[in-house]
Structure 1
């Protein structure tokens, strides 16, 4: 045990009696914090506990690996449109048919289709892209209530971390088409809006497909945040509302093509 001297610092006597100092990269340990073993010793010791697999430094490596895999897999994808929507949409729901149409039209316009890779509206968009002969991408996420990538994904990546997955959506999509959805869909919409508003990304089109479903959100943004001055009119204008899948794809295509 050390005894603080003037200013709350240990006395020289304590520093001498307290043992050694060890440095490992940018980290310095002193006195009672000095590990009893070296890094190499712990690495090579078969008898060590395995709880280090769940420690934060190891999680950093997992996070890094997700970014490396994502960038490496998608770097040569080419033009792509991100499609968001609810995992709970049944195949007989009109929104499912809407998703299939969006996927087909996007491929015909020269885009790959990127979804969250799950069921429902995501599956529908992947199905449309797959049946049209295009590239159907699924960026899955580890969740307790969803079972892997849908069968229409022909290029899939499964992520542990939402933020790594979101980065791939934003980096590799020229725009987003949003089918009706719940919290996850809203999270993706507002993430994209915030990044565009704060100029963290180059501006891109964000199209809400389904006027009846999304009108309430637009009204709330205008009557609430905009009326109170918490956002600007231009922030609301970042969202385009339509019922026409062809128009949605055209908006992304027009924005992606450089002007003459």
Structure 2
């Protein structure tokens, strides 16, 4: 478990307090074994499950919100088509993803993270597919390594982090060119316009071709069509 602090000031003071070599060696060196154990457990567990489609989105989305209901429909459709579903394992959109997947025939996986707020396991994850992490970077490796595609629902900083991580790894050819599907035109259009008009056209900090890595859709049928089209192109089939 991560250490809990009374407030931000306490954490800042501890981080800035000079430490002896023995303290550094004791704390940092032994952390390597905790990190290693999370990788080993994650790899062994996910290898038995196999690749899935990841669904990202906000933990704050309520159960009666249109994007919660849409995420549930998307996950159900994906699962019934034979694709496993991975979420962050928590509430909100993550819960909707696991809930929808539970109605299908494919595995429903949760990769949870130990946080001081918002995050807790949802009840719709398969009991033997519930993984917990202390380290964000280990958890993100599991998402990327075992994802056949990325469905990105509206979310906050965490969702953006996961989305841009996937885009960057595909752009730099560190992972295969799996589909990245943004759901909700009204939510994503401002960001996409900024990428096109500012990031690419004004500052040349990305290539116009990079926009081809992203698909924007609004329905569960469109999501499944993008994924199925990708698999047919490469003569692949779902794992389940």
Q: TM-score, normalised by structure 1?
A: 0.77
How far apart, CA to CA, are the structure 1 residues paired with 2:61 and 2:82? 26
Tell me, what secondary structure is at the counterpart of 1:110? coil
Q: 1:100–1:127: 8 Å Cα contact kept in structure 2?
A: yes
Structure 2: tracts of 5 or more residues without a match? 1-20
Structure 1: tracts of 5 or more residues without a match? 1-32, 36-50
Query: Does residue 135 of structure 1 match 2:107?
Result: yes
| TM-superposed deviation, 1:78 | 3.0
How far apart, CA to CA, are the structure 2 residues paired with 1:108 and 1:54? 49
> Map of 1:57-206 to 2, 5 A cutoff?
57-154=29-126, 155-206=129-180
Q: 1:175–1:205: 8 Å Cα contact kept in structure 2?
A: yes
Q: 1:81–1:252: 8 Å Cα contact kept in structure 2?
A: no
Q: 2:43–2:142: 8 Å Cα contact kept in structure 1?
A: yes
Tell me, what secondary structure is at the counterpart of 2:49? coil
| TM-superposed deviation, 1:235 | 1.1
How far apart, CA to CA, are the structure 2 residues paired with 1:226 and 1:147? 35
Q: Which has the higher contact order (CA 8 A, sep 6+)?
A: 2
Q: TM-score, normalised by structure 2?
A: 0.84
Moved more, 217-226 or 146-155: 146-155
Tell me, what secondary structure is at the counterpart of 2:124? coil
> How many positions carry a matched residue from both structures?
212
In structure 2, relative to structure 1, the CA distance for the partners of 1:147 and 1:223 (3 Å cut) is closer
Runs of 4+ in structure 1 deviating by more than 6 angstroms, as ranges, are 51-54
1:170-199 per-position Cα deviation (integer Å, ceiling 9, x unaligned): 111100001110100000010111111111
1:140-168 per-position Cα deviation (integer Å, ceiling 9, x unaligned): 01110034210001111010101100010
C-alpha RMSD over aligned residues? 1.9
How far apart, CA to CA, are the structure 2 residues paired with 1:65 and 1:234? 39
In structure 2, relative to structure 1, the CA distance for the partners of 1:159 and 1:78 (3 Å cut) is same
In structure 2, the residue matched to 1:213 is 187
In structure 1, the residue matched to 2:206 is 231
Query: Does residue 254 of structure 1 match 2:229?
Result: yes
Larger Rg: 1
How far apart, CA to CA, are the structure 1 residues paired with 2:48 and 2:230? 20
In structure 1, the residue matched to 2:14 is none
